[in-house]
């Protein structure tokens, strides 16, 4: 099977990552290239499962339409692959270039677009360690933009896994959440980041969202 690569969109004002054939990699259903915290380089794992199926299935049970899905914090694509089978389009955001290297080996579906940005409350740079999922709000080589700046419509589902960056992400996503009213599945680590969780809750409630269900560390929020 042929995997995907990263290319720059020729449009002068838009930089996007689109699927194009580039590299031969055998990718079975639950086989993934991964880069975990103890890895010094990407590793190919057979039967590594499809990434948190309990959380994903619990959230997808609330989805009514299957047009556009946003996979924010897509990492190596373990959520992306099953989501691409359900939605017309899956738009992914992953700022870490080392995770993106795994992603483009893993994801061959043609209805997937990957953007190499962190999502925040404005345009700025941030830093991120080699195999870390945590963005630090300090000058670095990670570009950040708001979700609203992409002007994405018909969003029916958003998966958010950004390890502590939830508040700036949600601040920069207010217009999108108001316009499309998607089902939101967001990781809320109440045992580790209670202040961040409380602030994220406040933003969601201000936008008319209500908590529906918690599965492990993931919570489903719906527009009331």
CA 100 to CA 123: how far, in whole Å? 21
**Who's near 80: CB < 8 A, 6+ residues apart?**
71, 74, 90, 92, 103, 106, 107, 109, 112
- Between 41 and 81, the more confident residue is 81
- What is the chain's mean pLDDT, rounded? 86
List the one residue out of 101, 91, 90, 5 whose CA is nearest residue 44: 101
Which pLDDT value is given to residue 125? 92
Domains, the chain, with CATH or none: 2-223 (3.40.50.150)
Average pLDDT of span 147-168: 97
Which pLDDT value is given to residue 50? 65
Average pLDDT of span 180-198: 96
Which pLDDT value is given to residue 115? 97
- Between 133 and 26, the more confident residue is 133
Average pLDDT of span 148-155: 98
Q: Is the pLDDT of residue 13 over 60?
A: no
Which pLDDT value is given to residue 70? 98
Q: Is the pLDDT of residue 25 over 50?
A: no
Q: Is the pLDDT of residue 109 over 90?
A: yes
Which pLDDT value is given to residue 130? 59
Q: What percent of the chain has pLDDT over 70?
A: 86
CA 103 to CA 73: how far, in whole Å? 11
Contact yes or no for 198/146 (Cβ under 8 A): no
Q: Is the pLDDT of residue 156 over 90?
A: yes
Average pLDDT of span 192-213: 97
Q: Is the pLDDT of residue 95 over 90?
A: yes
């Amino acid at each position: 099977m042929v995997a995907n690569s990263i290319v720059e969109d020729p449009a002068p004002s838009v930089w996007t990552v689109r699927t194009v054939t580039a590299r031969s990699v055998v990718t079975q259903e639950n086989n993934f290239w991964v880069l975990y915290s103890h890895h010094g380089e990407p590793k190919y794992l057979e039967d590594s499962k499809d990434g948190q199926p309990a959380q994903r299935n619990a959230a997808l049970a609330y989805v009514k339409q299957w047009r556009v899905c946003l996979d924010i914090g897509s990492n190596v694509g373990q959520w992306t692959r099953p989501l691409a089978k359900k939605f017309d389009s899956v738009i992914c955001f992953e700022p870490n270039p080392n995770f993106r290297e795994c992603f483009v080996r893993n994801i061959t579906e043609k209805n997937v677009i990957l953007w190499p940005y962190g999502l925040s409350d404005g345009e700025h740079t941030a830093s991120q360690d080699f195999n870390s999922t945590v963005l630090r709000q300090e000058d670095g080589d990670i570009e950040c933009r708001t979700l609203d700046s992409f002007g994405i419509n018909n969003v029916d589902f958003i998966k958010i896994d950004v390890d502590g960056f939830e508040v700036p992400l949600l601040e920069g996503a207010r217009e999108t959440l108001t316009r499309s009213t998607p089902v939101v599945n967001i990781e809320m680590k109440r045992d580790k980041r209670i202040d961040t969780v409380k602030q994220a809750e406040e933003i969601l409630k201000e936008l008319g969202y209500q908590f529906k269900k918690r599965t492990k560390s993931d919570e489903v929020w719906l527009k009331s």
